[in-house]
Amino acid sequence: MKKLTALVLALALALSVSLAFAEKAIPDIEHIDLKAGETFHAAIGDYNPEDGTFVVRVYAWDTYDEDDVAKLTAGDIILAGGDIYVIKDEREESGDRVFIVNDDEEIYFEKFDGELVCRNLLNGRIFMNVVSVLRLPVADDVVYEDASNPDLEVPAKIFSGLQDVQDAIKRAAEDHTYGLIASFTTVTINERLEIVKIHQAYDVAQ
């Protein structure tokens, strides 16, 4: 019996190792490289117990051409986060052009990680869009890290294991005004494309 158990464990280990180094065919997803240890912005959807996966909506920043932005003036439009904004006026703040758009929202452009992105001046959010919807499995040692407390001195709350992670995410989505939105939520996967960590940062609108 001991030999059989040892054999089963050895086969399981061998399978795990083979999966870890297995070749993968992964489609090109704009701004995202789904490789081992990759972390990306995402909105977390429902968990399906039948196949053990979370619905993960992968987001990427909207990026812009500097020449296009330089030409913007009153009456022009900005497509950001999937919505159209009509420029009513503009002003300057700290050297940046701030565009006053419909509903008197204020947005501006800045270089971030080498890309020109668009931000909401009120809450600092970078405008993003869904670039892919995935159903990803969950690692046995999955962790949810809740760092949403605005007090930076307060350590993040850590939840581990599928059930505790599910419960914590459900509570967080109920407590935060907009739920676990992609602007301040990241997902980290392993080499088998399993979710190993979900991180929730502070969101000024929560």
pLDDT the model gives residue 169:
86
Parallel, antiparallel or unpaired: strands 185-189 and 39-48: antiparallel
Which residues in 82-106 are b (16+ Cβ under 10 Å) and which e? eeebebeeeeeeeeeebbbbeeeeb
- Residue 54's pLDDT is 94
Lookup: tokens for 161: 């294991």
| pLDDT averaged per 10 residues in sequence order, the chain, 206 residues | 43 46 76 84 91 93 96 97 96 94 94 92 90 95 91 90 92 70 90 94 70
pLDDT of residue 36: 78
- Spell out the domain ranges in the chain: 27-59+129-201, 66-126
User: What pLDDT score was predicted for residue 17?
Assistant: 47
Q: How far is it, in rounded angstroms, from Cα 133 to Cα 187? A: 13
Distance between CA 121 and CA 96 in Å, rounded? 11
Which residue type sits at 4? L
* The pLDDT value given to residue 69: 97
